[in-house]
Amino acid sequence: MQKQLTAFIEREGGGYVSLCPELDIASQGDTIEEARDNLREALELFFETASPEEIRTRLHDEVYLTRMEVTVG
């Protein structure tokens, strides 16, 4: 079975950090592709090892990405 999940990837130092907000699982890599692939591997491992109860508890069905303006200084 396939499931669509979100991956946020951002540069951090000399590499990239990837995060799946639906499950709060993160990984990293030297490139964007490596960070994404490592996150995919971490997610697949989670689904292989987690109990159905843990998956239900951690999985957020609704995740929203938005930009907002804030006052700085």
- SS3 readout for 19-71: EECCCCEEEEECCHHHHHHHHHHHHHHHHHHCCHHHHHHHCCCCCCCCCCCCC
Nearest to 58 by CA among 28, 33, 21, 30: 21
Q: What is the mean pLDDT of residues 9-21?
A: 97
* 48-70 residue pLDDT tens: 999 999 999 999 989 999 999 99
Question: pLDDT (tens digit, 9 = 90+) per residue, 17-33?
Answer: 999 999 999 999 999 99
All domains in the chain, ordered by first residue: 1-73 (3.30.160.250)
φ/ψ (deg, to 5) at 48? -70, -35
Give the pLDDT confidence score for residue 53 in this predicted structure: 97
The pTM of the whole model exceeds 0.75: yes
pLDDT of residue 47: 97
